[in-house]
Structure 1
Amino acid sequence: MAISGTIFIIFTLVFIHGLTICSSQTNSSSSVKCIDRERIALSKFRKSLTDDSGRLSSWIGQECCSWKGITCSNKTGHVLKLNLHNPTPFDNDRFYNSQDGEYMAYYSKSCLAGELNPALLDLKQLQFLDLSMNNFSGSEIPKFFGSFKNLKHLNLSVARFQGNVPPHIGNLSRLEVLDLSNFWTNRLSSESLHWVSSLSYLKHLDLSGVSLGRAKNWLDSVNGLPFLTKLNLSNTLVATIPSLTRRPNFTSLVSLDLQWNIITSEIPHWLFNLSNLVEFRLDGNGIRGPIPETFGRLTNLTVLGLSRNYFNTSVPDSLFNLRNLTYLDLSQNKLQGTISNAIVNLCNLKFLDLTDNRFTGKIPDFGINQNDCLQDLDVLGFLQFVERSNLSFVRTLSSLRELDISNNIVNGSIPSSFGQLSNLEKLELSNNSLSGMVTELHFSKMLKLTELSMSLNNLLVFNVSSEWIPPFQLKTIKLNSCTLGPLFPSWLKTQENVVELRISRTGISDRLPDWFEKVYSRVHYLDISKNNISGELPQFEEANNRPFRRLILNSNSFDGSLRPLPSDVLLWDVSNNFVSGNIPIQNGTNLTLEVLILSSNLLSGFFPGFLCEIKTMTILDLANNQFTGKLPDCIGEIENLSMLDLTNNTLHGEIPNSLGNLPLLSLHLHNNNFQGQLPSLENAMFLNILDVGKNSFTGVIPPWIGENQQYLAFLSLQSNNFHGEITEKLCQVPQLQLLNLARNNLTGNIPPCIGNFSAMITDHSSIEYLMLDVDYGGSIPGIINGIERRYTKTMPFLTSIDISDNSIVGEIPDNLTGLVGLRNLNLAGNNLTGRIQENWRYARINFPGFVEK
């Protein structure tokens, strides 16, 4: 027993000793020892960096292989990987939102900055280097980066480097991944990509955002990379896709991205030999002509983006043979013809956008495929199909996440089966011919819906219960010109996340409910105009939004007084209401207001001086109110003001000379009590409308009108006390199409050059005016057949000369008959002689009392 016990103890001790030895060996192999030279190099590198967020706080002690972002070899201890990618997710919209200071500060703090110390070269075995999403603003990419002989992965994307890409990177002969992408556009540039041809093992090359406008040889350089699978040259100012004299060598290419360049050349034939291509993006260029039939060769394509070009023929049927496509974007081209129902054979599609083209025929019937093979379609967009269609085709697309068929001629009612689209997040049906009732059934299972747009369907009526609680929480609501009223829609009370609400012209005739101010006081975009909503204006809270808020409440029955504005409002329109009292005094320097429209109310008091402090103001419309007093001298301090409308108030006194400092495009002072001489506006080089009628201005017709106003189209000096002759300098205004000098004290003759007004030679009734924005005060009075009318959207068609009720003498110039675009000529109340040709039938002519020779 003693012997066996002793043996047991000996074996036990030996077993324990063996375990200790094994454990010791295991620890020694797993505990990597940092190489002193490399630790010193990393410490020097760290000292040259700025690390406000403390991301490198672990870089202390002797064991650098345990530092955050460092990976060492388990065998040698050499640093193999240095990953300093900024871990903070980058939100482009939030970063560029100057009002979202909290996020900007948070992201900026998380960025590494400072200088890149060449001590890194002591990391002899470094294979992976990632400095992406940091901020080395103003720094060039160090040339010493080309000395990392073992580097396989280099990522400097969105690190805000600038300057030329050093060709020394071409020395990295083992490199497999190179990412220099930069959406801080074109900070980096390269005049040649010859250095790329040395990177023979390269698989992934991303130069998006790097200016390559002068790199004519880019294709030859890339063609020498046999293992290349991904090439991204988006937004690089590339102007052409060159031809190749031989078959491409980079046949392993899987992804080719040439979006957002200035390419106008045709798609070359060699591209269709890239049989392995899975993703091809060419959006946002200037390519014209047909979409090549040869796309049908690229049978492995899953992503094809050709949007925002000028393709102008029909869609080739060969595209419908690409059965692997999951993404197809042909939007914003000039494509024509019909879309074959064969498009439903693209069974794997998840995204399809054909919006903004010139298609004819009907929207394809996606319901004809008996296999329902489009069940996974996420996004569907059509636009401008000219034949009437209905929405029955949607019934089988149960996976739809986005549906956009706006701006078509879709008619009939909306099927109640829409309510079964449980995955739908965005529904865009605006500007069609839809009619009938919209009920709770249409939304019954739309739990994910966040964007709802049915605007400009004038026969669409919402008929939902006042107790209805929708299953969704919307962010965007666009229902303009549908019928929601007469009561204010109570279901809007339940939508607590809305950033955009547009319910203009919806037949609401009701008092604004008490809950509206609480739910919508921070909304980004609000348009409830052109209804009959009564009550006091809501109070809006600070929201710190960008784009800055737009609040449009015009053409209702609001009363009471104005409320102070939040500082982040860009546009504030409460015109055509019954708002009274003074404009509340605010600190104008805190406001970002660009457009203020308060016209056609009952406002009174003096011109508020704080408006002069709003340097961002471009449009100020106070017309048709009861403002009194004088214009302050500070009016000229609103340095960006381009439209000022003070029509129909009781303002008086002289106009401050400082008004001439403003870059005015449109000035309306009609029907006030202003007096004195009109100050010089010769610095307003692009003045288009000048209406100072019905005041008490004196002096001669200002000569600067003809000398400097080359863009003046509408001039009204009527009903003032101007005297002297009609200056020939007016004939130097080539764009003039309305000249109203009636009811002044003018003498002398009509200058013969008045028949040279080139804008009155054109028949404006046949011209389409697409660019003139007259929504904000762009109006002017004109007297036709003795009736004064105010022209707004029809202003471009107003061509008129009115010199009536002056003391003009002499003959009527013969060349007036050459003004074939003239719609009104009024010479009455003068002492004119002569004859107007009887066959001149273009104008309404009024000149009673003249003496015929």
Structure 2
Amino acid sequence: MATRKTFIPFLVLLLLPLFLEFFLLEALVINSTDGDRDVVCIEMERKALLKFKGGLEDPSGRLSSWVGGDCCKWQGVDCNNGTGHVIKLDLKNPYQSDEAAFPLSRLIGQISDSLLDLKYLNYLDLSKNELSGLIPDSIGNLDHLRYLDLSDNSISGSIPASIGRLLLLEELDLSHNGMNGTIPESIGQLKELLSLTLDWNPWKGGDWIPPFSLKVIRIGNCILSQTFPAWLGTQKELYQIILHNVGISDTVPEWLWKLSPQLGWLDLSRNQLRGKPPSPLSFSTSHGWSPVPSNIGELSSLRVLTISGNLLNGTIPSSLTNLKYSRIIDLSNNHLSGKIPNHWNDMEMLGIIDLSKNRLYGEIPSSKCSIHVIYLLKLGDNHLSGELSPSLQNCSLYSLDLGNNRFSGEIPKWIGERMSSLKQLRLQGNMLTGNIPEQLCGLSDLRILDLALNNLSGSIPPCLGHLSAMNHVTLLDPSPDYLYTDYYYTEGMELVVKGKQMEFERILSIVKLIDLSRNNLSGEIPHGITNLSTLGTLNLSRNQLTGKIPEDIGAMQGLETLDLSSNRLAGPIPLSMASITSLSHLNLSHNLLSGPIPTTNQFSTFNDPSVYEGNLGLCGLPLSTQCSTPNEDHKDEEDEKEDLDDGWETVWFFTSMGLGFPVGFWAVCGTLALKRTWRHAYFRFVGEAKDRMYVFIAVNVARFQRKMKRNGGAHG
């Protein structure tokens, strides 16, 4: 018991220092927190921010919180909790995905020199606004800066050489501006630089041996170099290489494929890359030679491979299908030949395949859609043949382009039954036969239906008027490149619009087109097609269509192109067509149309006679055949009426004569024949009248003779 009493005070004395230390630390934390709350921004920096704000237009009021004494509480401003210095300024436009709000939320003005007073700034993002003018020459004074993003503005001029003094800078993005000049060598002094993005400016390239080791380089749409930059070969940690449309006209160096084991994104599109004869070990020699290495499948980290728009030839290596983590493969617009490789089964993350505009032949491999995530498949403009593979129905496609090949057979019904997300279907320029399946009408998201230049027959399905995506407005995404799991891809498609072959890229998402031209379709234009009020292009030319143009075609207020030429359409041009004020291209030539050409609204702009030629019944400008004027028409109507009245009078005259003679004859003679007393009285009257007439004539003749004798004697 005594031991227990002795132990308790001893334990208290032992733990008391620990409790005191705990409470002391807690008090320090509380004081530190209270101290942080009391820290406000530096007055000089607050004034610098207000001066910067004063030079901007802010239509949406994004900087409305920039009032009061504590700038650390202002939107987009972060301060150091200990010193109160502004260390982060993030004023990028936050509404990039909202088409309506995006243009209204841009800050307008110039980059003020006052920002250079924020000497402790390590993060500056002014992207996606409407800033113009030059980058301040003394921007190199912000020597704490680690992140600088001025992209998507209207900045002009050259990159200041002082930018080389930002020795801590890790990320630099000046893309999508109007800057020019030469990329300064001082960028090569940024030894901590990890990401460099300079695309969409009219730069001229420079060459240097940089001390940095980049992970990301994005340079595009400028003249960088005719050869691959030598300094690129020194970058061994690259994850992303984008050298898009930079004027490289060179062979693909072998070191490029071995540059970095973690390479995940390689974009060398739209240059003039060539191949060279293969080395024995690393290049395929089965069909000539290929600039793409046969062992490319060993680049296990590759997610995006885009080498489109070059001069590459040879075959596609079969090892390409070993890139099982790839999301995008774009080898389009080259001179590649041979067959499409088999065995796509293991590419479980592949979403985009674009092999269009090459010289590939054979059939579509049955394993192509064994992976269900493919949503864009472009194999158009090759020499592929056979029937459309049933395996395609396993793809979750939103865009299918097989145009300008040699595919045969009928259009499968399963396209309309299984591809419910399809937005774009391009099958033009093949050898497809049969009818247009009505199942296509079930594609509620379909915006492009291009079946031109085939051998399709039958009538146009009336249910095409149920394509609901062509009956409501589609807004243009301000970020037009499609984002697929953090990778951007700009989709393009060639279509015939306004009588010309045109390629659409950035506005493709809002293009709405039906092209059934150059087939053997017959019957009438279905009335339901006029329900497609936002359809932009309707081309039904060079078929065997008959009947009239639908009277209410004026309901198609979105039409910009209408081509109904080279059919057998008859009747007048509907007056409602003149109400389509968006119509800018019209072709009604070589039909059986008749009547006057409308002259109001858009029709006053169609001054080319070829728009209407080949319709012998049409009259009015711009044709030489004149229509009669309204006064002449009225006069002709009156003359026609008078002639008609005269005709009736003549008919009635001769009819009366024909009927009057027998009626009069038998009315008199019949009565005399039946009535004896009337007959005796009549003949007595006639006899007396004859006697009186004889006496009258005889007396007058005798009187006349006597008078003539007297006159003769007097003269003698």
Q: TM-score normalized by structure 2?
A: 0.67
- Is the CA contact (8 Å cut-off) linking 1:480 and 1:503 kept in structure 2? no
| Deviation at residue 552 of structure 1 after TM alignment | 1.9
Mapped to 2, the partners of 1:386 and 1:24 lie a distance apart of: 73
Instruction: Give the aligned partner of residue 261 of structure 1.
Output: 246
Query: Is 1:650 the counterpart of 2:650 in the alignment?
Result: no
**SS of corresponding position for 2:207:** helix
Q: Superposition pairs for residues 611-760 of structure 1, below 5 Å?
A: 614=605, 621-626=611-616, 646=623, 650-651=625-626
Instruction: Give the aligned partner of residue 283 of structure 1.
Output: 269
**SS of corresponding position for 2:168:** coil
Match for residue 525 of structure 1 among 487, 490, 513: 513
Greater mean deviation of Cα atoms: 67-76 or 330-339: 330-339
Mapped to 2, the partners of 1:239 and 1:388 lie a distance apart of: 38
Q: 1:642-693: CA deviations, max 9, x gaps?
A: xxxx5xx62599xxxxxxxxxxxxxxxxxxxxxxxxxxxxxxxxxxxxxxxx
Instruction: Give the aligned partner of residue 48 of structure 1.
Output: 55
Query: Is 1:345 the counterpart of 2:334 in the alignment?
Result: no
Structure 2 unmatched runs, 5+: 1-21, 475-492, 497-509, 629-716
Query: Is 1:557 the counterpart of 2:557 in the alignment?
Result: no
Match for residue 458 of structure 2 among 486, 494, 502: 486
- Is the CA contact (8 Å cut-off) linking 2:525 and 2:547 kept in structure 1? yes
C-alpha distance 149-567 of structure 1, shift in aligned 2 (>3 A) = same
**Structure 1 counterpart of 2:546, one-letter code:** S
Instruction: Give the aligned partner of residue 595 of structure 2.
Output: 604
Instruction: Give the aligned partner of residue 402 of structure 2.
Output: 429
Q: 1:310-365: CA deviations, max 9, x gaps?
A: x9856442334434333333444454444454443333333334444444443322
Match for residue 39 of structure 1 among 46, 50, 59: 46
Mapped to 1, the partners of 2:611 and 2:140 lie a distance apart of: 61
C-alpha distance 231-347 of structure 1, shift in aligned 2 (>3 A) = closer
Mapped to 1, the partners of 2:110 and 2:617 lie a distance apart of: 60
Mapped to 2, the partners of 1:145 and 1:443 lie a distance apart of: 58
Q: Superposition pairs for residues 347-366 of structure 1, below 5 Å?
A: 347-366=324-343
Instruction: Give the aligned partner of residue 73 of structure 1.
Output: 80
Instruction: Give the aligned partner of residue 478 of structure 2.
Output: none
Q: 1:488-536: CA deviations, max 9, x gaps?
A: 43664553224899999xxxxxxxxxxxxxxxxx983232445224157
Instruction: Give the aligned partner of residue 230 of structure 1.
Output: 216
Instruction: Give the aligned partner of residue 373 of structure 1.
Output: 346
- Is the CA contact (8 Å cut-off) linking 1:427 and 1:452 kept in structure 2? yes
Mapped to 1, the partners of 2:27 and 2:527 lie a distance apart of: 82
**SS of corresponding position for 1:75:** coil
Mapped to 1, the partners of 2:71 and 2:158 lie a distance apart of: 33
Query: Is 1:454 the counterpart of 2:427 in the alignment?
Result: yes
Q: 1:570-611: CA deviations, max 9, x gaps?
A: 322223343433674998996561454444342333683756
Indicate the percent of aligned positions where both proteins have the same amino acid. Answer: 26
**Structure 1 counterpart of 2:83, one-letter code:** T
| Deviation at residue 140 of structure 1 after TM alignment | 1.6
Instruction: Give the aligned partner of residue 406 of structure 1.
Output: 380
| Aligned length, in residue pairs | 562
Match for residue 169 of structure 2 among 172, 175, 197: 175
C-alpha distance 390-274 of structure 1, shift in aligned 2 (>3 A) = closer
- Is the CA contact (8 Å cut-off) linking 2:249 and 2:273 kept in structure 1? yes
Q: 1:176-205: CA deviations, max 9, x gaps?
A: 2211111x5xx2013351221332222222
**SS of corresponding position for 1:288:** coil
- Is the CA contact (8 Å cut-off) linking 1:595 and 1:620 kept in structure 2? no
RMSD of aligned alpha carbons: 4.5
- Is the CA contact (8 Å cut-off) linking 2:361 and 2:385 kept in structure 1? no
Query: Is 1:166 the counterpart of 2:160 in the alignment?
Result: yes
Q: 1:14-63: CA deviations, max 9, x gaps?
A: x9999999766633334532222222221222122110100011111122
**SS of corresponding position for 2:349:** coil
| Deviation at residue 152 of structure 1 after TM alignment | 1.7
Mapped to 2, the partners of 1:455 and 1:606 lie a distance apart of: 32
Question: Which has the larger share of helix?
Answer: 2
Q: Superposition pairs for residues 182-197 of structure 1, below 5 Å?
A: 182=176, 184=177, 187-197=178-188
**SS of corresponding position for 1:452:** strand
Match for residue 150 of structure 1 among 128, 137, 144: 144
**Structure 2 counterpart of 1:209, one-letter code:** W
Please identify the structure whose Cα radius of gyration is greater. Answer: 2
Greater mean deviation of Cα atoms: 109-118 or 16-25: 16-25
Match for residue 131 of structure 2 among 133, 136, 152: 136
- Is the CA contact (8 Å cut-off) linking 2:407 and 2:430 kept in structure 1? yes
**SS of corresponding position for 1:551:** strand
Give the number of the structure with larger relative contact order, counting CA–CA contacts within 8 Å between residues 6 or more apart: 2
C-alpha distance 191-357 of structure 1, shift in aligned 2 (>3 A) = closer
Q: 1:798-852: CA deviations, max 9, x gaps?
A: xxxxxxxxxxxxxxxxxxxxxxxxxxxxxxxxxxxxxxxxxxxxxxxxxxxxxxx
- Is the CA contact (8 Å cut-off) linking 1:290 and 1:314 kept in structure 2? yes
Mapped to 2, the partners of 1:427 and 1:167 lie a distance apart of: 48
C-alpha distance 203-387 of structure 1, shift in aligned 2 (>3 A) = closer
Mapped to 2, the partners of 1:37 and 1:178 lie a distance apart of: 27
Mapped to 2, the partners of 1:651 and 1:614 lie a distance apart of: 18
Structure 1 unmatched runs, 5+: 1-14, 92-102, 298-310, 505-521, 633-645, 654-853
| Deviation at residue 486 of structure 1 after TM alignment | 3.3
Mapped to 2, the partners of 1:436 and 1:22 lie a distance apart of: 78
Mapped to 2, the partners of 1:43 and 1:503 lie a distance apart of: 51
Mapped to 2, the partners of 1:437 and 1:461 lie a distance apart of: 5
Q: 1:104-153: CA deviations, max 9, x gaps?
A: x743321101233323233221111111111023x122224232222221
**Structure 1 counterpart of 2:421, one-letter code:** K
Instruction: Give the aligned partner of residue 117 of structure 1.
Output: 112
Mapped to 2, the partners of 1:197 and 1:468 lie a distance apart of: 56
Mapped to 2, the partners of 1:270 and 1:205 lie a distance apart of: 21
- Is the CA contact (8 Å cut-off) linking 1:580 and 1:603 kept in structure 2? yes
Q: 1:703-738: CA deviations, max 9, x gaps?
A: xxxxxxxxxxxxxxxxxxxxxxxxxxxxxxxxxxxx
C-alpha distance 317-55 of structure 1, shift in aligned 2 (>3 A) = same
C-alpha distance 206-377 of structure 1, shift in aligned 2 (>3 A) = closer
Instruction: Give the aligned partner of residue 474 of structure 1.
Output: 446
Match for residue 392 of structure 1 among 329, 342, 366: 366
